[in-house]
């Protein structure tokens, strides 16, 4: 099978020479396994951390081995009772054209609800991150004013729409281009700004007005987190989902200089991983399917064609060239 390997560890921004397209033989299918032809692979920011050789919540990628990550594809051979040829399945052996996977490590994509790619995005890990991060981690309540950074991205765009659907009094988003800001307003955000135009703190203050914000869903960290701390109301809650502003950093970033505001404002800052939110997966799937069906929530995808272009897709993701979920179609 053709696969994308990590050829060297990026220092700072990843470059094409950090990746390699290689051809390796497929292992023989064993009892309990399925052979999947991957149709879409998920391109995710957390992969940047796994390219460093440091201990983290997920193991570093090995050099000269295929990368892995979420994928959806079609079962083309099966030696498992519960999976048959033709099933669409989600699994973790992306970044290759064909994968031999333990059937127990696959979940069925309910393609009667949505196209296969949605199970990597709105109906998959991305959607659960948005749903559980907002409702369970940040403990969103109807009437809250919400700010989400990375708002035109896969997770962020869902967070804003879920907040609106659940009765937010105001939803504010930030993103990195005028086109993305316009898209957020189309998606129903009450206000949106381009963080490149002026300091985040000034723009957030102006967008929030007297009302302030009660919840901050942080995808970015850095200046965005610092701005949110200064605009959050007493008793405000922060879901710490990601810190993409620092993923390519070669030096440790400065902490928010105003962190002590968390004391006087009695804030709650909670980090989370979607892997720790699986107990909400069934509730999420049912609600999200309903929201997609009735048009309450819509999602964007940026689709790059061809496995050989997957490294480019990853670099583009970190550079903000995606709107909504970044995917590679094989």
Segment lying near ligand NDP (by CB under 6 A), choices 77-85, 139-147, 225-233, 272-280: 272-280
Our finding on whether 68 is near ligand NDP (CB under 6 A) is no
Instruction: Tell me whether residue 54 or residue 263 sits nearer to ligand NDP (CB atom).
Output: 54
Instruction: Tell me whether residue 70 or residue 83 sits nearer to ligand NDP (CB atom).
Output: 70
How would you write the chain as a 3-class SS string?
Answer: CEEEEECCCCCCCCCHHHEEEEECCCCCCCCCEEEEEEEEEECCCCHHHHCCCCCCCCCCCCCCCECCECEEEEEEEECCCCCCCCCEEEECECCECEEEEEHHHCEECCCCCCCHHHHCCCCCHHHHHHHHHHHHHCCCCCCCEEEECCCCEHHHHHHHHHHHHCCCCEEEEEECCHHHHHHHHHCCCCEEEECCCCCHHHHHHHHHHHHCEEEEEECCCHHHHHHHHHHEEEEEEEEECCCHHHCCCCCCCCCCCCCCHHHHCCCEEEECCHHHHHHHHHHHHHHHHHHHHCCCCCCCEEEEECHHHHHHHHHHHHCCCCCEEEEEEC
Sole binder of ligand NDP in the list 69, 116, 124, 176 (CB under 6 A): 176
Instruction: Tell me whether residue 111 or residue 177 sits nearer to ligand NDP (CB atom).
Output: 177
Instruction: Tell me whether residue 169 or residue 275 sits nearer to ligand NDP (CB atom).
Output: 275
Size of residue set near ligand NDP by CB under 6 A: 29
Our finding on whether 156 is near ligand NDP (CB under 6 A) is yes
Kindly write out the interface string for residues 219-258 of this chain, putting x where it contacts ligand NDP by CB under 6 A and - elsewhere. xx--------------------xx-xx-------------
Sole binder of ligand NDP in the list 18, 41, 45, 256 (CB under 6 A): 45
Sole binder of ligand NDP in the list 317, 327, 328, 330 (CB under 6 A): 317
Our finding on whether 273 is near ligand NDP (CB under 6 A) is yes
Instruction: Tell me whether residue 44 or residue 87 sits nearer to ligand NDP (CB atom).
Output: 44
Our finding on whether 173 is near ligand NDP (CB under 6 A) is no
Catalog residues that contact ligand NDP under the rule CB under 6 A.
44-46, 126, 129, 150, 152-156, 175-177, 180, 219-220, 241-242, 244-245, 272-274, 317-318, 320, 322, 326
């Amino acid at each position: 099978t053709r696969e994308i390997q990590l050829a060297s560890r990026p220092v700072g921004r990843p470059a094409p020479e950090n990746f390699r397209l290689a051809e390796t033989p497929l292992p023989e299918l064993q009892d309990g396994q399925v052979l999947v032809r991957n149709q879409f692979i998920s391109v995710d920011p957390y992969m940047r951390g796994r390219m460093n050789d440091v201990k983290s919540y997920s193991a570093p990628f090995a050099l000269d081995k295929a990368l892995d990550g979420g994928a959806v594809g079609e079962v083309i051979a099966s030696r498992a009772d519960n999976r048959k040829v033709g099933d669409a399945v989600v699994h973790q052996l992306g970044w290759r054209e064909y994968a031999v996977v333990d059937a127990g490590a696959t979940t069925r994509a309910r393609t009667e609800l949505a196209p296969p790619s949605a199970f990597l995005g709105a109906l998959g890990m991305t959607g659960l991150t948005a749903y559980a991060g907002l409702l369970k981690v940040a403990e969103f309540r109807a009437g809250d004013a919400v700010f989400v950074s990375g708002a035109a991205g896969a997770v962020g765009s869902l967070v804003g729409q879920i907040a609106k659907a659940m009765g937010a009094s105001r939803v504010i988003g930030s993103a990195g281009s005028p086109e993305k800001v316009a898209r957020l307003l189309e998606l129903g955000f009450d206000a949106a700004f381009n963080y490149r135009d002026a300091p985040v703190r000034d723009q957030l203050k102006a967008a929030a007005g007297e009302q302030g914000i009660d919840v901050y869903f942080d995808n970015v960290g850095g200046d965005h987190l610092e701005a949110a701390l200064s605009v959050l109301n007493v008793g405000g809650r922060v879901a710490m989902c990601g810190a993409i502003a620092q993923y390519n950093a070669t030096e440790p970033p400065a902490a928010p200089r105003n962190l002590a505001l968390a004391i006087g404002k009695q804030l709650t800052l909670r980090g989370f991983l979607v892997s720790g939110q699986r107990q909400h997966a069934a509730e999420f799937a049912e609600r999200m399917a309903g929201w997609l069906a009735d048009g309450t929530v819509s999602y964007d995808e940026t689709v790059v064609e061809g496995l050989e272009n997957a490294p480019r897709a990853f670099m583009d993701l970190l550079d903000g060239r995606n709107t909504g979920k970044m995917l590679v179609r094989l």
